[in-house]
Structures are given as structure tokens and as C-alpha cells.
Amino acid sequence: MSLEPIEGYLREGDQLDPAAHLVDRILSGSRLRTRRSYAAVAVCEVLGAGFGLLATFSAPHYSVALGFYAVEKAELLIGVLGEVRPNPHHVRRQ
């Protein structure tokens, strides 16, 4: 298990196509191009697992509201986020 932080991106709707142009634009943008990996999940899946969402930065980014920290909540969130993918647009920080 990797302990490196990941960035999660969500969008409204039931499907998220990781090959979509929008995802490429987000991953290559100034905020995420220095991240080695990311996870993408539909908003309905996060809400369905009982987590709240806060709109942050610009669409389609959200922060997940955990309320209070518990190992069980963290494990549930990791399960909801699913596969961690490498960022094909990753560049080292200067």
C-alpha cells in the first residue's frame, strides 16, 4: 500500500471516462501536473457511501467531508475511490 497522498477528482453523473479530454486537461493543469497519481469517481458513489462533498477550487473538483477521522471511514473512502491511476502528465516540481 502506497502512503503517498493522492488527489481525488469527482464529477456529477454516473460515469467518468478517464480518457476524456476534460480529465487530460485537469491532470495537465498547474494544480495537478505535479501529482504522480489520482483517483476519479462519480459524485453519486461518494454521496451513496454517506460522505459529504464541498465544492473547492474550480469545477469539477470537490473535497470529501469526513466529519471526524476514524480508520473505518478512511478505509470506506479508499474503497469508494477505487483504482489509483498514474498521472500521464506528471512533471517534477521545480
Cα distances (angstroms) measured from residue 71 to each of 9, 54, 75: 22, 21, 6
48's grid cell: 451513496
pTM over 0.75: no
Pairing of strands 52-55, 85-86: unpaired
Does residue 80 have a pLDDT over 90? yes
Domain ranges of the chain: 7-86
CB 66 within 8 A of CB 16: no
Name the residue with cell 483504482.
83
**Which has the higher per-residue pLDDT, 46 or 1?**
46
27's grid cell: 491532470
CA–CA distance, 3 with 7 (Å, rounded to integer): 13
Does residue 43 have a pLDDT over 80? yes
